[in-house]
Amino acid sequence: MRNPTVVRSGDEDVLTARELYRFYRAGEEETLALRGVSLSVRRGETVAVVGPSGAGKSTLLAILAGLDEPSGGEVRVDGVRVSHRPETERARLRSRHIGVLLQTRNLLPHLSVRDNVRLPQQAGGRKPTVTADELLAQAGIGERSHALPRQLSGGELARAGLAVALANSPSVLLADEPTGELDGETEQLVLTMLRQRAAEGCAVLIVTHSAEAVRIADRVIALDDGRATDRPSSAAPGRTHDAAR
């Protein structure tokens, strides 16, 4: 059953989105990519967002990250409203609270891998809880820290991108297909890093087509035609979840 208002509320909610709408107009063509999506993710929770192509997953992630503005509704992170602010303010909030891993990856081409990780640490304005070298070692690419992004393989790029997304010790991690096109071993490494972050209290939301990524999630949100339905991760019976209501 479709339910456009998938709302939970509680003290532990770090990421909340309420009644998100996103309307696109391109010439004559109008698309309602999000039709009243509400969700919340708690501290320490991992949520997988799944759905067919065109369902609105990337649109949702961009709005949750403050990279795009909703046409209606609002997003809050750590209780602070992220949406309906000038881009510079959204960028500031993002650098303090949110880690983002996009499909295009998030590395500046002229900086070494290590400097790419250091950049958000300097911009975040908080003392990082982990050094760039520690993060890169966790991601299994410590020995590639001096390389430029173009010198990395696809799997190394994905891991470096994740290290950058985690660099500012975010309270919310948003990742679009973090394991797309990775071999099984690298996928496991990335998923282990995501689970570790959740165990440390991060609210993790991943857009994914991967069965393995869905398997490690506490909860799954299915998007279809801009509407969300909450369901438990079928491979994780008994894990924390709330049904749509």
Ligand X SMILES: Nc1ncnc2c1ncn2[C@@H]1O[C@H](COP(=O)(O)OP(=O)(O)OP(=O)(O)O)[C@@H](O)[C@H]1O
Short-list 171, 44, 205, CA closest to 95: 171
Give me the 43-72 binding string for ligand X, x by CB under 6 A, dash otherwise: --------x-xxxxxxx-------------
Considering the complex, what minimum distance in angstroms separates the CB of residue 9 from ligand X?
A: 26
Considering the complex, what minimum distance in angstroms separates the CB of residue 238 from ligand X?
A: 29
The torsion angle over the Cα atoms of residues 130, 202, 67 and 74, rounded to 10 degrees, is -150
Considering the complex, what minimum distance in angstroms separates the CB of residue 219 from ligand X?
A: 18
Which is closer to ligand X, CB of 15 or CB of 55?
55
Short-list 232, 80, 210, CA closest to 158: 210
Contact set for ligand X, span 4-33 (CB under 6 A): 24, 26, 31, 33
Q: Does 220 bind ligand X (CB under 6 A)?
A: no
Considering the complex, what minimum distance in angstroms separates the CB of residue 8 from ligand X?
A: 23
Give me the DSSP letters along 204-215.
EEEE---HHHHH
Q: Does 146 bind ligand X (CB under 6 A)?
A: no
Which is closer to ligand X, CB of 55 or CB of 167?
55
Which is closer to ligand X, CB of 47 or CB of 167?
47
Considering the complex, what minimum distance in angstroms separates the CB of residue 221 from ligand X?
A: 12
Please give the backbone phi and psi of residue 207, each rounded to the nearest 5 degrees, phi first: -90, 125
Q: Does 168 bind ligand X (CB under 6 A)?
A: no
Q: Would you mind telling me the total number of residues written for the chain in this entry?
A: 245
Please give the backbone phi and psi of residue 20, each rounded to the nearest 5 degrees, phi first: -80, 130
CB-based contacts of 225, cutoff 8 Å, min separation 6: 35, 55, 56
Q: Does 120 bind ligand X (CB under 6 A)?
A: no
Considering the complex, what minimum distance in angstroms separates the CB of residue 230 from ligand X?
A: 17
- The radius of gyration of the chain from alpha carbons, rounded to an integer in Å, stands at 17
Say how many residues touch ligand X, by CB under 6 A.
Answer: 12
- CB-based contact 171:12 (threshold 8 Å): no
Binding residues (CB under 6 A) for ligand X: these are 24, 26, 31, 33, 51, 53-59
